[in-house]
Amino acid sequence: MHPTPLNVLALSGSLRQGSLNGRLLEAAAALAPEGMALQLCDGLRALPHFDEDLERETHGGPEPVRQLRAQVTAADALLLATPEYNQSFPGVLKNGLDWLSRPGPEEVLVGKPVALLGATPGRWGTRLAQAGLRQVLTATEALVLPAPAVFVPEAERLFDGSGRLQDTRTQEALRALLHALARWTRSVTAESSAAPGTRPSAARLPPAEAGSSDGDAGRPGAPPGVHARARTS
């Protein structure tokens, strides 16, 4: 019997045309495993700056916020691609997460499985951006996939002139991430349906995907390259 298909909503923290992170998400959509539909969402672009007055006056947020909230609610999981801006993740992504983190008690990020990835032309592959993003998502009670994390340094050389991902190592890292996200989503969703009314926990790690670990990733002196890290040894 085939499991129920998973709907994954993919958001990029970059709004620009030709964004490396947008291209990475397009590649992920093309590599999604059987049983997963990955939809790219441009919903961060239309959001106003978060403002508690606006939130109150509009009873929870204006139309673009409501639309994004509805898309997140309908999705089984999120895939967030982040650039690194000044050693953190971009304001547009933080703005979106602030809107989505409220209003209670029906916050749409609570218990939502989320996987992270990020690309940069620089050497360190959005490590600091992803660390910051992970911290914020923890505050929202989203369930961030513990591993692998996909860091894509020196990303400009990985795409062809049409913006298609050509690098096989990065393609493998994306496949491993999406498989792990599927397992993670099914695992935490089963946990919450087994105990209705409780918030699922991030206590269980999915088994590491073969070929997706890179124990040297993140160590000073480790060479640049795609790092899909399952754990730090």
Ligand X SMILES: Cc1cc2nc3c(=O)[nH]c(=O)nc-3n(C[C@H](O)[C@H](O)[C@H](O)COP(=O)(O)O)c2cc1C
44 or 65, CB closer to ligand X? 44
Element spanning 179, H or E: helix 168-194
Work out the number of other CB atoms within 10 angstroms of the CB of residue 134.
18
116 or 188, CB closer to ligand X? 116
Closest distance of CB 190 from ligand X, Å: 34
CB 33 within 8 A of CB 186: no
Query: Could you say whether residue 166 binds ligand X (CB under 6 A)?
Result: no
23 or 102, CB closer to ligand X? 23
Closest distance of CB 86 from ligand X, Å: 5
DSSP bridge pairs for 88? 85
CB 202 within 8 A of CB 62: no
- Using CA atoms, how far apart are residues 182 and 199, in angstroms rounded to an integer? 19
83 or 148, CB closer to ligand X? 83
Look at the alpha carbons of 150, 30, 44, 73 in this order and tell me if their dihedral is positive or negative: negative
CB 209 within 8 A of CB 180: yes
21 or 189, CB closer to ligand X? 21
15 or 139, CB closer to ligand X? 15
The count of chain residues that interact with ligand X, using the rule CB under 6 A, is 13
Query: Could you say whether residue 224 binds ligand X (CB under 6 A)?
Result: no
Out of 14, 130, 189, 213, the residue judged to bind ligand X by CB under 6 A: 14
Query: Could you say whether residue 87 binds ligand X (CB under 6 A)?
Result: yes
With CB under 6 A as the contact rule, which of the stretches 84-92, 136-144, 159-167, 194-202 interacts with ligand X? 84-92
- Using CA atoms, how far apart are residues 164 and 171, in angstroms rounded to an integer? 11
With CB under 6 A as the contact rule, which of the stretches 19-27, 34-42, 58-66, 106-114 interacts with ligand X? 19-27
Q: At what angle do helices 91-100 and 127-140 cross, to 10 degrees?
A: 10
Q: Looking only at residues 101 through 140 of this chain, which bind ligand X when binding is defined by CB under 6 A?
A: 120-122
Parallel/antiparallel/unpaired status of strands 113-119 and 143-144: parallel
Work out the number of other CB atoms within 10 angstroms of the CB of residue 155.
24
Query: Could you say whether residue 86 binds ligand X (CB under 6 A)?
Result: yes
Please report, as ranges, the residues that interact with ligand X according to CB under 6 A: 14, 16, 19-21, 83-87, 120-122
